[in-house]
Structure formats: structure tokens, C-alpha cells
């Protein structure tokens, strides 16, 4: 298991899940948004419970400061997610309904 140090911007929760300090927002969520081109200001707007732009930048700096370790962490999280999905498959039709809802929401925006 990947072990990164915690700091004032990052805390370890739930047996090894890295979150923005004081929240349940995972670093994997933040980095995926950041890599998709979302500005730190937009990330804060999407997740106001982060509390401050400084915490967003601090978390991003933490991630950028530990690239190899963080990539290993992302792989671990992806493996956990895949195990969960295999253990709990969606009922028939649920995926189709989910995609229809996503498409409808995308048309509205």
C-alpha cells in the first residue's frame, strides 16, 4: 500500500484514503478534476466544503510534489473501485437509465 505523508492540507482517512484535510473529498477526485483542466477556483466552487483556495492549492502542490507515489495511490484506488464494482454490479437497465439522465443533464447545461 502506498504511504504518503499527511500535512496541513491532507489527511488520511478510512484505512488509507487520502482526503483534503477536514473533508471527505478524496485527493483522487481533486486530481481528476485538475487534470481535466479545471482551475483551482472552479474546484473550490464545485466543492465548497474544502473551505479555502489555499487548501486546494496546498493539495495540488502535495500531489505534484509526490508524483510517483501519488500515481501508485491512484492505481490502488482504481483497483479498489474495480473490486467494488465487480462485487456490486448494477441491476439490468440501471446503467442505461444513468446514461440517459447524464445525457439529459448535459443538454440542459
Task: Give the chain's domains with CATH numbers.
Answer: 10-108 (1.10.10.10)
Q: What is the pLDDT of residue 36?
A: 93
| Per-residue pLDDT tens over the stretch 78-109 | 998 899 989 998 887 888 898 899 899 888 87
**SS3 per-residue string spanning the chain:** CCCCCCCCCEEEECCCEEEECCCCCEHHHHHHHHHCCCCHHHHHHHCHHHCCHHHHHHHHHHHHHCHHHHHHHHHHHHHHHHHHHHHCCCCCCHHHHHHHHHHHHHHHC
Is the confidence at residue 2, as pLDDT, over 60? no
Q: What is the pLDDT of residue 92?
A: 77
Amino acid at each position: 500500500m502506498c504511504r504518503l505523508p499527511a500535512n496541513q492540507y491532507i489527511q488520511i482517512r478510512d484505512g488509507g484514503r487520502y482526503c483534503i484535510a477536514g473533508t471527505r473529498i478524496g485527493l483522487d477526485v481533486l486530481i481528476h478534476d485538475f487534470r481535466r483542466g479545471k482551475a483551482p477556483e472552479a474546484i473550490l466552487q464545485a466543492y465548497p466544503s474544502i473551505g479555502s483556495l489555499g487548501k486546494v492549492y496546498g493539495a495540488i502542490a502535495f500531489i505534484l510534489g509526490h508524483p510517483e507515489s501519488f500515481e501508485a495511490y491512484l492505481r490502488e484506488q482504481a483497483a479498489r473501485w474495480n473490486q467494488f464494482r465487480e462485487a456490486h454490479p448494477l441491476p439490468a437497465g440501471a446503467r442505461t437509465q444513468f446514461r440517459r439522465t447524464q445525457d439529459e443533464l448535459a443538454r440542459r447545461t
